Amino acid sequence: MKRPQATAITSGKGGVGKTNLSVNLALALHKAGERVGIFDADLALANAHLVLGCRPNRTIVDALSGQCTMAETVVESPLGVKMIAGGSGLAEVMGLSVEKRQEIIRNFSELSGTIDHLIVDTAAGVEANVIDFVAACDRVIVVVVGEPTAFVDAYASIKVLHQDTGRDRFDVIINRAANDAVGAQIFTRFRAITDRFLKVTLNHIGTVPEDERLAIV
Protein backbone atom coordinates (compact mmCIF):
# COMPACT_ATOMS: atom_id res chain seq x y z
CA MET A 1 0.00 0.00 0.00
CA LYS A 2 1.31 3.45 -0.87
CA ARG A 3 1.96 5.58 2.17
CA PRO A 4 1.20 9.28 2.39
CA GLN A 5 3.85 11.78 1.35
CA ALA A 6 5.61 12.59 4.63
CA THR A 7 7.29 15.88 5.57
CA ALA A 8 9.31 16.16 8.78
CA ILE A 9 9.53 19.51 10.53
CA THR A 10 12.53 19.50 12.80
CA SER A 11 15.10 21.76 14.47
CA GLY A 12 18.27 21.70 16.50
CA LYS A 13 17.23 24.13 19.20
CA GLY A 14 13.87 23.71 20.93
CA GLY A 15 11.14 26.31 20.91
CA VAL A 16 11.91 27.74 17.46
CA GLY A 17 8.36 27.23 16.14
CA LYS A 18 8.16 23.67 14.72
CA THR A 19 4.74 22.91 16.14
CA ASN A 20 3.19 26.19 15.06
CA LEU A 21 4.66 25.84 11.57
CA SER A 22 3.54 22.19 11.34
CA VAL A 23 -0.03 23.11 12.17
CA ASN A 24 -0.10 26.10 9.84
CA LEU A 25 1.48 24.16 6.97
CA ALA A 26 -1.10 21.43 7.50
CA LEU A 27 -3.93 23.98 7.46
CA ALA A 28 -2.54 25.57 4.28
CA LEU A 29 -2.34 22.18 2.53
CA HIS A 30 -5.87 21.38 3.69
CA LYS A 31 -7.12 24.66 2.23
CA ALA A 32 -5.38 23.74 -1.03
CA GLY A 33 -7.54 20.60 -1.13
CA GLU A 34 -5.16 17.96 0.22
CA ARG A 35 -6.12 15.38 2.81
CA VAL A 36 -3.62 16.21 5.54
CA GLY A 37 -2.61 14.64 8.82
CA ILE A 38 -0.21 15.74 11.53
CA PHE A 39 1.74 13.13 13.43
CA ASP A 40 3.00 14.59 16.69
CA ALA A 41 6.31 12.76 16.94
CA ASP A 42 7.26 14.70 20.05
CA LEU A 43 6.75 11.65 22.17
CA ALA A 44 7.70 13.21 25.48
CA LEU A 45 6.06 16.64 25.40
CA ALA A 46 3.39 16.34 22.77
CA ASN A 47 1.44 19.55 22.22
CA ALA A 48 0.45 19.80 18.55
CA HIS A 49 -3.14 18.86 19.52
CA LEU A 50 -3.31 22.02 21.65
CA VAL A 51 -2.20 24.24 18.78
CA LEU A 52 -4.60 22.45 16.45
CA GLY A 53 -7.45 22.72 18.94
CA CYS A 54 -8.44 19.10 19.37
CA ARG A 55 -8.61 16.71 22.27
CA PRO A 56 -7.54 13.24 21.17
CA ASN A 57 -8.65 10.36 23.34
CA ARG A 58 -6.22 7.96 21.71
CA THR A 59 -2.54 8.51 21.10
CA ILE A 60 0.27 6.71 19.37
CA VAL A 61 0.95 4.99 22.71
CA ASP A 62 -2.35 3.08 22.38
CA ALA A 63 -1.35 1.90 18.91
CA LEU A 64 2.09 0.84 20.12
CA SER A 65 0.68 -1.11 23.01
CA GLY A 66 -1.65 -2.94 20.64
CA GLN A 67 -4.88 -1.43 21.95
CA CYS A 68 -5.82 -0.05 18.56
CA THR A 69 -4.45 0.27 15.05
CA MET A 70 -2.56 3.33 13.91
CA ALA A 71 -5.53 4.32 11.75
CA GLU A 72 -7.79 4.23 14.81
CA THR A 73 -5.65 6.85 16.59
CA VAL A 74 -6.46 9.43 13.92
CA VAL A 75 -8.78 12.17 15.13
CA GLU A 76 -10.38 14.88 13.04
CA SER A 77 -9.64 18.40 14.25
CA PRO A 78 -12.23 21.20 14.04
CA LEU A 79 -10.50 22.72 11.00
CA GLY A 80 -10.44 19.49 8.98
CA VAL A 81 -6.84 18.45 9.52
CA LYS A 82 -6.40 14.96 10.94
CA MET A 83 -4.09 14.28 13.84
CA ILE A 84 -2.21 11.46 15.50
CA ALA A 85 -1.33 12.62 18.98
CA GLY A 86 2.01 11.99 20.63
CA GLY A 87 2.78 11.04 24.21
CA SER A 88 3.41 12.93 27.39
CA GLY A 89 6.52 11.64 29.03
CA LEU A 90 5.33 8.07 29.48
CA ALA A 91 8.24 5.84 30.31
CA GLU A 92 7.52 3.29 27.58
CA VAL A 93 7.51 5.95 24.90
CA MET A 94 10.56 7.79 26.13
CA GLY A 95 12.66 4.66 25.73
CA LEU A 96 11.05 3.51 22.51
CA SER A 97 13.09 0.77 20.83
CA VAL A 98 14.34 1.05 17.26
CA GLU A 99 11.90 -1.72 16.30
CA LYS A 100 8.94 0.16 17.74
CA ARG A 101 9.91 3.37 15.97
CA GLN A 102 10.26 1.45 12.71
CA GLU A 103 6.88 -0.13 13.33
CA ILE A 104 5.28 3.30 13.66
CA ILE A 105 6.92 4.40 10.43
CA ARG A 106 5.88 1.25 8.54
CA ASN A 107 2.36 1.77 9.77
CA PHE A 108 2.21 5.18 8.12
CA SER A 109 0.93 3.24 5.12
CA GLU A 110 -2.20 2.30 7.08
CA LEU A 111 -3.19 5.92 6.68
CA SER A 112 -2.99 6.01 2.91
CA GLY A 113 -6.74 5.66 2.40
CA THR A 114 -7.53 8.86 4.28
CA ILE A 115 -4.37 11.02 4.19
CA ASP A 116 -2.34 12.24 1.19
CA HIS A 117 0.16 14.26 3.15
CA LEU A 118 1.53 13.59 6.62
CA ILE A 119 3.30 16.37 8.50
CA VAL A 120 5.60 14.94 11.16
CA ASP A 121 6.19 17.44 13.97
CA THR A 122 9.34 16.19 15.71
CA ALA A 123 11.00 17.00 19.00
CA ALA A 124 14.09 19.21 18.86
CA GLY A 125 17.60 17.80 18.75
CA VAL A 126 19.30 14.66 17.49
CA GLU A 127 18.11 11.88 19.75
CA ALA A 128 17.34 8.54 18.11
CA ASN A 129 13.60 9.23 18.36
CA VAL A 130 14.02 12.31 16.21
CA ILE A 131 16.54 10.89 13.72
CA ASP A 132 14.51 7.78 12.92
CA PHE A 133 11.29 9.68 12.32
CA VAL A 134 13.05 12.25 10.18
CA ALA A 135 14.85 9.53 8.22
CA ALA A 136 11.51 7.94 7.36
CA CYS A 137 10.12 11.10 5.78
CA ASP A 138 10.34 12.06 2.11
CA ARG A 139 11.17 15.66 2.82
CA VAL A 140 12.80 17.46 5.75
CA ILE A 141 12.20 21.05 6.78
CA VAL A 142 14.62 22.48 9.34
CA VAL A 143 13.35 25.48 11.29
CA VAL A 144 15.96 28.10 12.16
CA VAL A 145 15.72 31.46 13.94
CA GLY A 146 18.33 34.20 13.74
CA GLU A 147 20.16 33.48 16.98
CA PRO A 148 23.68 32.08 17.42
CA THR A 149 22.46 29.14 19.52
CA ALA A 150 19.83 28.24 16.91
CA PHE A 151 22.53 28.32 14.20
CA VAL A 152 24.86 26.07 16.16
CA ASP A 153 22.11 23.58 17.03
CA ALA A 154 20.61 23.55 13.51
CA TYR A 155 24.09 22.94 12.09
CA ALA A 156 24.56 20.02 14.51
CA SER A 157 21.17 18.56 13.54
CA ILE A 158 21.86 18.75 9.83
CA LYS A 159 25.30 17.25 10.34
CA VAL A 160 23.95 14.27 12.28
CA LEU A 161 21.02 13.75 9.90
CA HIS A 162 23.44 13.86 6.95
CA GLN A 163 25.92 11.47 8.54
CA ASP A 164 23.38 9.02 9.95
CA THR A 165 20.87 8.91 7.12
CA GLY A 166 22.84 10.07 4.06
CA ARG A 167 20.32 12.81 3.31
CA ASP A 168 21.95 15.73 1.53
CA ARG A 169 19.03 18.06 0.77
CA PHE A 170 17.24 20.04 3.44
CA ASP A 171 14.57 22.69 3.19
CA VAL A 172 14.91 25.58 5.63
CA ILE A 173 12.31 27.94 7.08
CA ILE A 174 13.56 31.05 8.84
CA ASN A 175 11.07 31.80 11.61
CA ARG A 176 10.50 34.98 13.60
CA ALA A 177 12.39 37.26 11.21
CA ALA A 178 11.43 40.94 10.97
CA ASN A 179 10.71 40.65 7.22
CA ASP A 180 11.59 38.66 4.07
CA ALA A 181 14.83 40.57 3.46
CA VAL A 182 16.05 39.85 7.00
CA GLY A 183 14.97 36.21 6.59
CA ALA A 184 17.01 35.92 3.38
CA GLN A 185 20.01 37.42 5.16
CA ILE A 186 19.72 34.99 8.07
CA PHE A 187 19.48 32.09 5.63
CA THR A 188 22.57 33.24 3.70
CA ARG A 189 24.56 33.48 6.91
CA PHE A 190 23.40 30.05 8.03
CA ARG A 191 24.17 28.44 4.67
CA ALA A 192 27.67 29.91 4.73
CA ILE A 193 28.34 27.73 7.79
CA THR A 194 26.98 24.49 6.35
CA ASP A 195 28.68 25.16 2.98
CA ARG A 196 32.00 25.41 4.74
CA PHE A 197 31.83 22.10 6.56
CA LEU A 198 29.15 19.83 5.05
CA LYS A 199 28.29 18.45 1.62
CA VAL A 200 24.60 19.31 1.82
CA THR A 201 22.27 21.51 -0.20
CA LEU A 202 20.00 23.86 1.70
CA ASN A 203 16.91 25.31 0.08
CA HIS A 204 15.33 28.38 1.67
CA ILE A 205 11.61 27.72 1.26
CA GLY A 206 10.36 30.68 3.24
CA THR A 207 10.49 33.23 6.00
CA VAL A 208 7.81 33.53 8.67
CA PRO A 209 7.60 36.89 10.44
CA GLU A 210 7.38 37.47 14.14
CA ASP A 211 3.65 37.42 14.94
CA GLU A 212 2.49 38.96 18.20
CA ARG A 213 -0.90 37.22 17.87
CA LEU A 214 0.71 33.95 18.97
CA ALA A 215 0.92 35.17 22.55
CA ILE A 216 -2.11 34.52 24.76
CA VAL A 217 -2.03 38.04 26.26
Ligand X SMILES: Nc1ncnc2c1ncn2[C@@H]1O[C@H](COP(=O)(O)OP(=O)(O)OP(=O)(O)O)[C@@H](O)[C@H]1O
- In the complex, the residues that contact Mg ion under the rule CB under 5 A are 18-19
Of 88 and 185, which has the nearer Cβ to Mg ion? Answer: 88
How many C-beta neighbours within 10 Å does residue 66 have?
Answer: 7
The least CB distance from residue 69 to Mg ion, in Å, is 25
Q: 118 by DSSP, 3-state: which?
A: strand
Q: Contact, 142 vs 154, CB < 8 A?
A: yes
CA angle 133, 136, 137 (to 5 degrees): 95
- Pick between residue 29 and residue 174 the one whose CB is nearest to ligand X: 174
Strand order of the β-sheet with 201-209 is: 75-76, 82-84, 36-41, 117-122, 5-10, 139-144, 169-177, 201-209
* Minimum CB–partner distance for residue 43 and Mg ion (Å): 11
What is the footprint of ligand X within residues 42-81 (CB under 6 A)?
42
How far from 197 is each of 121, 124, 200, CA to CA, in Å?
Answer: 27, 22, 9
Q: Taking the complex as a whole, how short is the minimal distance between the CB of residue 42 and Mg ion, in angstroms?
A: 5
Minimum Å gap between C-beta 107 and Mg ion is 22
Indicate whether 152 belongs to the interface with ligand X (CB under 6 A): no
Contacting residue, 4, 17, 37, 87, with ligand X by CB under 6 A = 17
Interface pick for ligand X out of 74, 161, 202, 208 (rule CB under 6 A): 208
The alpha carbons of the chain give a radius of gyration, in whole angstroms, of 17
Residue 210 binds ligand X, judged by CB under 6 A: yes
Tell me the H-state helices in the chain. Answer: 18-31, 48-52, 60-64, 91-94, 98-106, 128-135, 148-165, 180-197
Residue type, 112: S
CB of 89 to ligand X, least distance (A): 13
Nearer to ligand X, 25 or 63 (CB): 25
DSSP 107: G
How far is the C-alpha of 141 from the C-alpha of 40, rounded, in Å? 15
Q: Does 40 bind ligand X (CB under 6 A)?
A: no
175 binds, among ligand X, Mg ion, none (CB under 5 to 8 A by kind): ligand X
* Binding residue (CB under 6 A) for ligand X from 175, 186, 187, 194: 175
For binding to ligand X (CB under 6 A), which residues are involved? 11, 14-20, 42, 124, 175-176, 208, 210-211, 214
